[in-house]
């Protein structure tokens, strides 16, 4: 019976090769790209809406939205002002480099400066599949609980930035921010973190400034 580990390694190796090709295409077109990962309901689409609306005058924006079914998220991104492409994974719990490659073919990349990729809502699989984006960003949210860095270390240890959304709920939910931050620091020391609320817009300016600093308008 074939061993599982070599098969998985082969799949990830092939994915990484295509991810490198995706990065090369984005670099050639001068497009800065961000892979947004989170559990369902953490606020990925809301963050994309705010980001698109506030940066539309400085950047030509595109969004690629991954989900198991429907075009709800892509429709919201388009309504906010982005050129949006929907990827339906048909049951897969993450995007991979092949899916992103196929979506990129639907965009004339030279027409854009910034690409936001909304991964499938999941705190396990997306961490294993590189897409070729320039930055990987994880969105946590207060209602999820303060133990998630300890329970899902793979998602926290390699991301480039962390957003903690729904901080407006801190007065109403038992969430120990110090305990949460200690867990994050153990996995990813010095990780850039943005406490925000998509409902009140608190903290969004710092997130947008980080994009502007890293992107190439």
Contact by Cβ (8 Å): 157, 188: yes
Model pTM score: 0.93
Report the distance separating Cα 45 and Cα 37, nearest Å. Answer: 11
pLDDT (tens digit per residue) in 36-89: 999 999 999 999 999 999 999 999 999 999 999 999 999 999 999 999 999 999
Distance of CA 35 to the CA centre of its chain: 3
- Total domains, the chain: 1
As a whole number of angstroms, the distance between CA 82 and CA 174 comes to: 36
Q: What is the mean pLDDT of the chain?
A: 94
Res. 161: pLDDT tops 90: yes
SS3 label, residue 170: coil
- Distance between CA atoms of 117 and 65, rounded to whole angstroms? 6
3-state secondary structure 7-22: HHHHHHHHHHHHHHHH
pLDDT category of residue 11 using cuts at 50, 70 and 90: low
Domain around 53? 4-214
- CATH number, domain at 163? 3.40.50.300
**103 and 64 in contact (C-beta within 8 Å)?**
yes
pLDDT tier, 26 (very low <50, low <70, confident <90, very high otherwise): very high
Q: Decide if pLDDT at 145 tops 50.
A: yes
């Amino acid at each position: 019976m074939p061993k599982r580990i070599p098969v998985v390694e082969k799949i990830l190796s092939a994915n990484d090769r295509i991810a490198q090709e995706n990065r090369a295409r984005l670099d050639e077109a001068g497009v800065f790209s961000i892979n947004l990962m989170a559990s369902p309901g953490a606020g990925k689409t809301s963050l994309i809406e705010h980001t698109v609306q506030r940066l539309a005058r400085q950047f030509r924006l595109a969004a690629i939205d991954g989900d198991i079914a429907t075009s709800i998220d892509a429709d919201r991104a388009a309504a906010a002002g982005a050129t949006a492409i929907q990827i339906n994974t048909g049951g897969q719990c993450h995007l991979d480099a092949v899916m992103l490659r196929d979506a990129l073919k639907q965009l004339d990349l030279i027409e854009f400066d910034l690409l936001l990729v909304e991964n499938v809502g999941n705190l396990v699989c997306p961490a294993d599949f590189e897409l070729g984006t320039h930055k990987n960003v994880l969105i946590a949210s207060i209602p999820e609980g303060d133990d998630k860095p300890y329970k899902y270390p793979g998602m926290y240890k390699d991301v480039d930035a962390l957003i903690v959304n729904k901080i407006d709920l801190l007065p109403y939910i038992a969430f120990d921010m110090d305990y949460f931050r200690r867990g994050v620091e153990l996995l990813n020391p010095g990780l850039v973190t943005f406490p925000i609320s998509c409902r009140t817009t608190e903290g969004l300016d710092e997130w947008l400034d980080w994009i502007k600093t890293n992107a190439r308008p």
